[in-house]
Amino acid sequence: MSTAFDAVIIGAGPAGTTAAIRLADAGWSVAIVEKRDFPRRKVCGECIAASNLPLLDALGIGEEFDALAGPALERVGLFVGARRIVAPLPPMADARHRWGRALGREHLDTLLLARARALGVQVWQPWAVKELIHDGDAHVCMISQAGAQSTLQLRAPLLIQAQGSWEPAPRDGDADVDDPRIPRRDSDLLAFKATWRDARMEPGVLPVLAFPGGYGGMVLGDHGLTTLAFCIRRDVLQRARAVHAGTSAAQAALAHVQASCAGVGDALAGAALAGPWLAVGPLRPGIRRAWHGDGRFAVGNAAGEAHPILGEGMSMAIQSAWLLCDRLIAQRTRPASPAGMRPSFTSPGQDYARAWRLNFAPRLRFAAVCAHLAMRPQAATALLPLLQRWPGLLTRGARIAGKVRQAAVSSHGVPARPPGPRPDLPPAPGVHG
Ligand SMILES: Cc1cc2nc3c(=O)[nH]c(=O)nc-3n(C[C@H](O)[C@H](O)[C@H](O)COP(=O)(O)OP(=O)(O)OC[C@H]3O[C@@H](n4cnc5c(N)ncnc54)[C@H](O)[C@@H]3O)c2cc1C
C-alpha cells in the first residue's frame, strides 16, 4: 500500500471529509487519518444550517441526508427561566433548501467518510497522527493504529489539519517547544450532550437555552430523537455537583439546566435517555491558524472555533474546507510546474487565510457576545422585554449568526464516478511515489 500522497488529511469530521471528497474528485491522491472507529456519536447539537445543504448535494450525500435528517427547522427560540420566545428563522433563497435540519453525527460523519472512500480516498482508521515532521518538500505524518506501538509514515506536499479542537493536536516536530499545558480555569467551558426518546419537543423549533454559567440548544432530529447539547462553566458545574451530591457530572449539570430553564424540564418530562451522556472540554473558542506558511493548512475547528451557541461549527467546518479546496484545485489547473519543483502554496495560502477571516471572524465575535449575554442571568433577563416586544430580533440574530450566509457556493455537483484518480487530469505538482 502506498504511503505517499498528494494530500494527507488529519481527522474525518465534516471539515476533513469535505476536503477529502473535493480533492479526490479533482484527481488528487488523498489519505485521511481518523483515530476513532465510525459510526461514533459526538458532542454536538447536530443542526446543519440550510446554507450547507447545496454543498452536501455537491459532495454526493444530499439524498441520504434528506432521507435521514429530522424535520425542517423553521423557527428559532430562546428559553430563559420560565420564559419562551419563538420567532421565524430566516429562510434560504434556494427553494430546495430553505431550512436547516438536524442529523446525528454518527450518521452524517459516516456518510461523508463513506463517500470519500468511494472516490478513492485511502482511509486509515482507527489510526491516529502522533507527530508531524517537515522533511524538505514533504510533510510527514507519523501515524499509529489504536492499541499498537508500531508507527508508519505518510508523506505529502500538502497537509490538511482537520483534527478539531477538543483533543491535543499531534506533536509538531518543527516547533521549538511543545505547547505549554494551559492551566484549568473556573471559566473553562465543559460541554455535554445526550439524546432522548419520546421527548415533548416541538418539531421545527430550534431553541437557544440561556442559564447561569452556560448555554445550549435542543432539537428534534433524526429517528424521532431529541438532542440536548450545552456548555457549562467549570465553577458552576462544581457548585451543581455539590448541590446534587451522589450524581454524575452530567446529571448534576442537567439538574442545573432544568432548574434554570423550564422549557428543558417540560420537554424531557417522561422522556427516556437513548444512549449514554457524552462530554468534552474544556472548549477554547477562538481563531487559530488557517495557513502555516507552507503546504500546511487548517480547516474546521482546527482553524478556529466559535462558541457553539449559534450552532454554526459544522457550517464553518464544511465551508472552510470548501474555500480551501476551491483555491488548491484552481492552482492545480495552471500549467504544471517543471518536474521535481516544489509546488508553491503561497497564493492559495494567503487567499484562503484572508477568505477565512472575512467569512468566519465576524461569526466568532457575534457568537462570543451572545454566549456571554446568555451565561449572565441579569443580562439575559434585561434583554427579555426587548425580545418579547420584538421577537424579530431573534430572526435578525440568526441572520447575523450566518444561518443563511453561504461562504462557499458549489458551482456543480461532485459527480458519482468509479474510485481512483481522474484520468483526464495531469498529476498534481510535487506528487511522490
Ligand atoms: C455543545 C456543542 C453543541 C454544538 N452544536 C452544533 C450545532 O448544532 N451545529 C453545528 O454546526 N455545530 C455545532 N457544534 C460545533 C461542531 O460540533 C464542531 O464545530 C464541528 O464538529 C467541527 O468539525 P471538525 O470537522 O472541524 O472537527 P471534529 O468534528 O471535531 O472532527 C475532528 C476529527 O478528528 C479526529 N482526530 C482528532 N485528533 C486526531 C489525530 N491526532 N489523528 C487522527 N484523527 C484525529 C477526531 O476523532 C474527530 O473525528 C457544537 C459544539 C458543541 C460543543
Mutate to test the pocket of ligand 1, among 105, 163, 254, 309 (most ligand atoms within 8 A of CB): 163
In this prediction, residue 281 carries a pLDDT of 93
Calpha distance 409→346 (Å, rounded): 23
User: How far, in Å, is the centroid of ligand 1 from the Cα of 104?
Assistant: 12
Q: How far is CA 286 from CA 52, 140, 170, 289, in A?
A: 22, 27, 19, 10
Is residue 306 in contact with ligand 1, taking CB distance under 6 Å? no
Closest CA to 194 of 237, 243, 257, 286: 257
Instruction: Give 145's strand partners.
Output: 127
Is residue 214 in contact with ligand 1, taking CB distance under 6 Å? no
pTM: 0.92
Calpha distance 426→329 (Å, rounded): 12
Is residue 31 in contact with ligand 1, taking CB distance under 6 Å? no
In this prediction, residue 410 carries a pLDDT of 76
For CA atoms 329, 331, 335, 341, give the dihedral sign. negative
Backbone phi, psi, residue 336, to 5°: -60, 145
User: How far, in Å, is the centroid of ligand 1 from the Cα of 301?
Assistant: 7
Closest residue by Cα to atom 50, ligand 1, is: 44
Is residue 190 in contact with ligand 1, taking CB distance under 6 Å? no
Is residue 284 in contact with ligand 1, taking CB distance under 6 Å? no
In this prediction, residue 150 carries a pLDDT of 85
Closest residue by Cα to atom 39, ligand 1, is: 163
Calpha distance 31→16 (Å, rounded): 10
335 prior amide bond cis, ω within 30: no
Is residue 13 in contact with ligand 1, taking CB distance under 6 Å? yes
In this prediction, residue 398 carries a pLDDT of 85
Spell out the SS3 assignment of the chain: CCCECCEEEECCCHHHHHHHHHHHHCCCCEEEECCCCCCCCCCCCCEECHHHHHHHHHHCCHHHHHHHCCCCECEEEEEEECEEEEEECCCCCCCCCCCEEECCHHHHHHHHHHHHHHCCCEEECCEEEEEEEEECCEEEEEEEECCCCCEEEEEECEEEECCCCCCCCCEECCCCCCCCCCCCCCCCEEEEEEEEECCCCCCCEEEEEEECCEEEEEEECHHHCEEEEEEEEHHHHHHHHHHCCCCCHHHHHHHHHHHHEHHHHHHHCCCEECCCCEEEEEECCEECCCECCCCEEECHHHCEECCHHHCCHHHHHHHHHHHHHHHHHHHHCCCCCCCCCCCCCHHHHHHHHHHHHHHHHHHHHHHHHHHHHHHCHHHHHHHHHHHHHCCHHHHHHHHHCCCCCCCCCCCCCCCCCCCCCCCCCCCCCCCCC
In this prediction, residue 391 carries a pLDDT of 86
In this prediction, residue 335 carries a pLDDT of 52
Cell of 430: 510535487
Is residue 14 in contact with ligand 1, taking CB distance under 6 Å? yes
Is residue 212 in contact with ligand 1, taking CB distance under 6 Å? no
User: How far, in Å, is the centroid of ligand 1 from the Cα of 131?
Assistant: 20
Is residue 162 in contact with ligand 1, taking CB distance under 6 Å? yes
Q: What is the pLDDT along the chain (433 residues), one digit of tens a residue?
A: 569 999 999 999 999 999 999 999 999 999 999 999 999 999 999 999 999 999 999 999 999 999 999 999 999 999 999 889 999 999 998 889 999 999 999 999 999 999 999 999 999 999 999 999 998 889 999 999 988 888 999 999 999 999 999 988 888 876 655 555 678 999 999 999 999 999 999 999 999 999 999 999 999 999 999 999 999 999 999 999 999 999 999 999 999 999 999 999 999 999 999 999 999 999 989 999 999 988 999 999 999 999 999 899 999 999 999 999 999 999 875 555 555 556 688 899 999 999 999 999 999 999 999 999 999 978 878 888 888 888 888 888 888 888 778 877 776 544 444 444 444 444 443 333 2
For residue 207, the surrounding DSSP H or E stretch is strand 205-211
Q: How far is CA 108 from CA 38, 42, 63, 193, 402, in A?
A: 11, 11, 12, 16, 21
Closest CA to 266 of 215, 218, 195: 218
In this prediction, residue 416 carries a pLDDT of 41
Is residue 36 in contact with ligand 1, taking CB distance under 6 Å? yes
Closest residue by Cα to atom 52, ligand 1, is: 44
Closest residue by Cα to atom 11, ligand 1, is: 314
In this prediction, residue 400 carries a pLDDT of 86
Calpha distance 92→99 (Å, rounded): 7
Determine the Cα angle at 357 with ends 394 and 73, to 5°: 30
In this prediction, residue 427 carries a pLDDT of 44
Is residue 104 in contact with ligand 1, taking CB distance under 6 Å? no
54 prior amide bond cis, ω within 30: no
Cell of 332: 492545480
In this prediction, residue 387 carries a pLDDT of 87
C-beta of residue 85 within 8 angstroms of C-beta of residue 78: yes
User: How far, in Å, is the centroid of ligand 1 from the Cα of 150?
Assistant: 27
Closest residue by Cα to atom 5, ligand 1, is: 45
Calpha distance 55→69 (Å, rounded): 15
User: How far, in Å, is the centroid of ligand 1 from the Cα of 141?
Assistant: 21
C-beta of residue 121 within 8 angstroms of C-beta of residue 29: no
* Beta-carbon-side half-sphere exposure of residue 20 (alpha carbons within 13 Å): 35
Is residue 301 in contact with ligand 1, taking CB distance under 6 Å? yes
Nearest-atom number in ligand 1 for the CA of 219 is 8
Nearest-atom number in ligand 1 for the CA of 306 is 19
Q: Counting every residue, how long is the chain?
A: 433
Q: How far is CA 362 from CA 48, 99, 249, 300, 365, in A?
A: 19, 22, 33, 15, 5
